[in-house]
Amino acid sequence: MKKRDTVLLLGIFSIIILITIQVVIITGVWREKDEMFNLRYRVFSQDALSNMSRKWSTDGFDTARLLISRYSEKAGKEISALKDDSAIARKKRDVLYFVTHVLDKEQDLSQFLSDYFEKQGIEKNFNNKIVINYFELIKGDTTIPIYVNRAFAERRMLTKENEPPRRLKPKRISEIFVKGDRSEDNFYRLDFEYFIDFTDKRHVILRETAAYLSMSIFSILVVVALFLVTYKNLMEEKRLSNLKTDFINNMTHELKTPLSTITVAGKTLEMAQIREDEAKVLETAKMIGKQSIHLNQLINMILEISMWERTQFQIDKKKVNIEELMNDIVTSFRTGCNNCSSITEKYNFSSHDIDIDVVYFTTLMNNLLSNAVKYSDRDPEIKIDGSVENGKFIISVADNGIGISRNDQKRIFDKFYRASTGNIHKYKGLGLGLYYVKKIAEAHGGDVSVTSKPGKGSIFTVTIPY
Ligand code: ADP
């Protein structure tokens, strides 16, 4: 696995662990808050209940019990008179519905609790819930079972003879048990429980845990951001180190070619039969001269760039006629190039003079022209255009070469950058030519841009203000 992938995997793994830990912590905090909430309301409810019985000598269900008792007397008689099983079952359902309804609606406990909570300054809006454990009608010596809560019945079976069956646990965790009641008179026997349930509980807890939540989300975001920055830096470092390696390889290759030509030429000159042929000597000497110039140019380019890194780019501007300068540059480029039959020029500079460093500008143009020739796999056709627009000289060099992919277009002006096809030694170079072009254009207050289509060609446009 690549180092980059390992770092990425490790980072993602650590972030997942961090998020898991945060989720566990938050869930813990949430549960604790939830329990605290329930406990608080349980305590306040018990307080309210004892307050109620002290003040009003009631638990709030007296009216309900009276209504149930009256209804039970009547219902007991009615059921005893029924013979049909399904009619009996229907009546029992009606009785249960009535009892639940009365317990729910004809009680004062909910109102009292709500007022009490309000006085305490805590959330007062809740729903109440009645759970009937069992209900039976009594008619003389007989009892008519109406309903037994299954869970309650199971518990009753598990408890000992004289012990009352244990209370039901609230079904939903948000329900809070307030009161259980067992009552009995001549006409009925009833056991029920009263719960309260806060619909807004989630919001209350969310409000209380907001600080924890936002802190943990913030810490996760910080860690993710740090990871992304570190990863990006690592990638950038890797890219630079790759560029450096490529540059060293390319430079070695670039320097070795003229050097080996010079070595071979030197060896050739040592041969007696060559020395006798004056034309051959002259040709070899010329070759040595040409390669030395090339070597010198390469070394100068590298030295100059390293000097730019340390000092400000110094240019020495002079007013020149731009059209004449362009003609000179292109003519001498044509002379030194043996594959440049088709270079066309079209200028419309309206006889403006340009304030420019002639040496650097010549290098800029030469770099663009030699790239136009170099990055072509057919006979190069180069078109040079020059015009003046909005206070700027606009010079473009268009070729019919291999073109540059969209991705590479963003990078080609970077130092040492070579498009991937350039790195295989088919096209020689150091990845410095366009960096040079950009630096020179910028030093003149201008810029350079590229438009290109792979396989079709490229257009480099230099703008320099006058
Ligand atoms: P070098 O030519 O030494 O590689 P440059 O800085 O001049 O360095 O160019 C950078 C890269 O831009 C080149 O490697 C090449 O891939 C691409 N490039 C530059 N000019 C052209 C062009 N005219 N056509 C196609 N590709 C080009």
Domains of the chain: 3-207 (no CATH), 318-465 (3.30.565.10)
Greatest extent of the chain over all pairs of C-alpha atoms, in Å = 149
Query: Could you report the per-residue pLDDT of 1-50, keeping only the tens digit for each?
Result: 677 778 888 888 988 998 999 899 989 999 999 889 889 999 999 999 99
Q: How far is the CA of 373 from the centre of ligand 1 (A)?
A: 10
Query: Could you report the per-residue pLDDT of 169-179, keeping only the tens digit for each?
Result: 656 667 899 99
Nearest CA to ligand 1 atom 21: 371
Atom of ligand 1 nearest to the CA of 421: 16
Q: How far is the CA of 294 from the centre of ligand 1 (A)?
A: 18
pLDDT band at 160 (very low <50, low <70, confident <90, very high): low
pLDDT band at 140 (very low <50, low <70, confident <90, very high): confident
Q: What is the pLDDT of residue 171?
A: 60
Angstrom distances, CA of residue 378 to CA of 170, 372, 373, 375, 399 = 85, 11, 9, 9, 11
Among 76-85, 248-257, 355-364, which stretch is predicted with the lowest mean pLDDT? Answer: 248-257
Q: What is the pLDDT of residue 167?
A: 62
Angstrom distances, CA of residue 427 to CA of 373, 418, 422 = 11, 10, 5
Q: What is the mean pLDDT of residues 305-328?
A: 84
Mutate to test the pocket of ligand 1, among 413, 434, 452, 462 (most ligand atoms within 8 A of CB): 434
Mutate to test the pocket of ligand 1, among 412, 437, 449, 461 (most ligand atoms within 8 A of CB): 412
- Average pLDDT of the chain to the nearest whole number: 88
Distance of alpha carbon 396 from alpha carbon 348, whole angstroms: 12
Q: How far is the CA of 134 from the centre of ligand 1 (A)?
A: 91
Q: What is the pLDDT of residue 164?
A: 63
Between 338 and 120, the higher pLDDT residue: 120
Q: How far is the CA of 355 from the centre of ligand 1 (A)?
A: 27
pLDDT band at 294 (very low <50, low <70, confident <90, very high): confident
Residues 6+ apart with CB under 8 A from 221: none
Q: How far is the CA of 403 from the centre of ligand 1 (A)?
A: 9
Q: How far is the CA of 256 from the centre of ligand 1 (A)?
A: 20
Angle between helices 358-374 and 433-443 (to 10 degrees): 150
Q: How far is the CA of 370 from the centre of ligand 1 (A)?
A: 9
For CA atoms 267, 272, 273, 278, the dihedral sign is positive
DSSP letter at 341 equals -
Q: What is the pLDDT of residue 240?
A: 85
Q: How far is the CA of 374 from the centre of ligand 1 (A)?
A: 8
DSSP letter at 405 equals -
Nearest CA to ligand 1 atom 2: 429
Residue 428 has pLDDT above 90, yes or no: no
The DSSP H or E segment spanning 15 is helix 3-56
Distance of alpha carbon 343 from alpha carbon 284, whole angstroms: 30
Among 135-144, 320-329, 399-408, 411-420, which stretch is predicted with the lowest mean pLDDT? Answer: 411-420
Q: How far is the CA of 338 from the centre of ligand 1 (A)?
A: 20
Q: What is the pLDDT of residue 64?
A: 95
Q: Is the pTM of this model over 0.75?
A: no
Distance of alpha carbon 285 from alpha carbon 274, whole angstroms: 12
Sheet holding 175-184, edge to edge: 142-148, 127-139, 188-197, 175-184
Nearest CA to ligand 1 atom 20: 371
Query: Could you report the per-residue pLDDT of 77-132, keeping only the tens digit for each?
Result: 999 999 899 999 999 999 999 999 999 999 999 999 999 999 998 888 899 999 99
Output the ligand 1 site: residues, CB below 6 A. 367, 371-372, 375, 399, 401-404, 412, 417-419, 422, 429-435, 458
Burial class of residue 369 (count of CB atoms within 10 Å of its CB; 0-12, 13-18, 19+): buried
Q: What is the mean pLDDT of residues 136-144?
A: 91
Both tokens assigned to 186: 């001549």
Atom of ligand 1 nearest to the CA of 423: 14
Atom of ligand 1 nearest to the CA of 419: 16
